[in-house]
Amino acid sequence: MNRNHMLLAAGAAFSIAAQAATVQVTVLARDGQPLSNAVVVVEPAGGIRPAAPAPVQATIAQEKMQFVPMVSVLPVGSRVSFVNQDAWEHHVRGVPAGVARLGSSPAGIELRLAGKVDGKAPTSADVTLATPGALQLGCHLHGSMRGFVYVTDSPFAVQTDANGVASLRDVPEGAASLRVWHSDQLLEGKPIKVNITPVTAVSVPTQVTPRRRRP
């Protein structure tokens, strides 16, 4: 496969008139392997702005020197509890992530979370994500800790799984563009034009070489 070319495999269009479709997007790394933890966003063409998704309550743990989950995709307005499950202190910071700084960026995060004491609830702090954009999470004390929060106002933003697959439901049929974000991408790829039919499967090669997560 020529990795510089997009493979667009539009699924069969059925004769049944349908309003909304399921879109399956497979994202591939530079070496052709499935790319997990990528965020796929589908934007209907023609300036149609779908209603923003409802905010949620989410948790990002600091556990065994990692952010768990490493990547969270959350609707704008969501609240995140940062919960320190380790027995030592973490100083969590969140800063706008690299190339995702298009337009607005979320406000930064600075938290000090004391270590967990046996028999007591872990220390936690809540943050409201008021602005769309990507935040990179780190810890002032532990340079190896790395995580991401992708804050979106799109109802069609889904993270790829271990097989590099993102499934988006109830996407309006018709012309749309598709964007892929990944924390290790050097340049944001150009939006890909797609035509959403009742069953749409798209494979998107990228130039991303994902960093290994520390064990």
Q: Of the two residues 30 and 146, which places its CB atom closer to Cu ion in the complex?
A: 146
The site string for Cu ion over 86-125 (x = CB under 5 A, - otherwise) reads ----x-----------------------------------
Q: Of the two residues 3 and 142, which places its CB atom closer to Cu ion in the complex?
A: 142
The site string for Cu ion over 30-49 (x = CB under 5 A, - otherwise) reads --------------------
CB of 111 vs Cu ion, minimal distance in Å: 10
Burial class (CB in 10 A: 0-12, 13-18, 19+), 70: middle
The whole-angstrom separation of Cα 77 and Cα 111 is: 19
Q: Of the two residues 90 and 116, which places its CB atom closer to Cu ion in the complex?
A: 90
Going through the chain in order, the beta strands assigned E by DSSP cover: 20-28, 39-44, 57-63, 66-68, 71-75, 79-84, 90-96, 109-113, 123-128, 133-139, 147-152, 157-159, 165-172, 174-181, 192-196, 199-205
Q: Of the two residues 137 and 180, which places its CB atom closer to Cu ion in the complex?
A: 137
Q: Is residue 174 left, alpha or beta, with left meaning phi > 0 and alpha meaning psi from -120 to 50?
A: left
The site string for Cu ion over 128-147 (x = CB under 5 A, - otherwise) reads -----------x-xx-----
Q: Of the two residues 140 and 169, which places its CB atom closer to Cu ion in the complex?
A: 140
In sequence order, what DSSP letters do the residues of 101-116 get, joined into one string?
A: -SS--PPPEEEEEPPP
CB of 141 vs Cu ion, minimal distance in Å: 4
Question: Residue numbers of the site for Cu ion (CB under 5 A)?
Answer: 90, 139, 141-142
